[in-house]
Amino acid sequence: MDVVKLLEDVKSGAVSVEEAQMQLRRQPFEELGFAKLDTHREIRSGFPEVIFCSGKPDAYLKEIYVKMYEKNGEVFGTRADEKQYHLVKEVLDQVTYDPISGILKVEKPDKERKGLIAVCSGGTADIPVAEEAAQTAEYFGSNVERVYDVGVSGLHRLLSRMESIQSANCVVAVAGMEGALASVIGGLVKNPVIAVPTSVGYGASMHGLSALLTMINSCANGVAVVNIDNGYGAGYMATQINRLAVKETE
CA pair distance 46, 197, nearest whole angstrom:
26
Q: Which of 182, 243, 247, 166 is nearest to 217 (CA)?
A: 182
pLDDT digits (tens, 9 = 90+) for 218-228: 999 999 999 99
What does pLDDT average to over the chain? 91
Nearest alpha carbon to residue 198 among 183, 223, 181: 181
pLDDT in tens, 59-111: 999 999 998 898 888 999 999 999 999 999 999 999 999 999 999 999 988 88
Higher pLDDT, 250 or 168: 168
Note the pLDDT of residue 4: 73
| CATH class belonging to 114-249 | alpha beta
pTM over 0.75: yes
Q: By the 8 A CB rule, do 223 and 182 touch?
A: yes
User: Rounded to whole angstroms, how far apart are CA atoms 197 and 85?
Assistant: 27
CB 95 within 8 A of CB 106: yes
Q: Which sequence spans correspond to the domains of the chain?
A: 3-106, 114-249
Q: What are 130-166's pLDDT values in tens digits? A: 999 999 999 999 999 999 999 998 889 998 999 999 9
Which pLDDT score is estimated for 2?
A: 66
